[in-house]
Structure 1
Amino acid sequence: MSDIDLSEAVWWKSRQSAVNGNCVEVARLPGQKLAVRDSKDRSGPVLIFSGSEWAAFVAGVKGGDFDL
């Protein structure tokens, strides 16, 4: 996905995120895509998801699919 310019992305994280910085940040992108990155490594890799992929992930989290 090298054709996506992240220089103008506005990143945010949950208000519930830990003070120690162990959280993820999300940015909305054109074309109903979302970018996700590690807040501790802001220049590191970024994952790009379509809107439907993100919706499926959020539904899985809410449904307990990832509970340990």
Structure 2
Amino acid sequence: MEPTDKQAQGLYRLCYRLTNVIYPGWQYRSVEIVRTDERTGNLYVLAGDNLDFEIKPTGGYEA
């Protein structure tokens, strides 16, 4: 299953925010894994030690 264009854009925005210090007090986080949930079509992102996100086909994401 391929991600939608909006999911790819959401993934880019999320990865940019995680790996760049753009907010005061925000710490750099590494992106460990990106996978597609075949059941829902959502992208699953594991970052740092304990952050996880799901990017919906609309491009929005939730922690």
The alignment's TM-score, normalised by the length of structure 2, stands at 0.36
Which structure is richer in relative contact order (CA contacts within 8 A, separation 6 or more)? 2
Q: Highest CA radius of gyration, 1 or 2?
A: 1
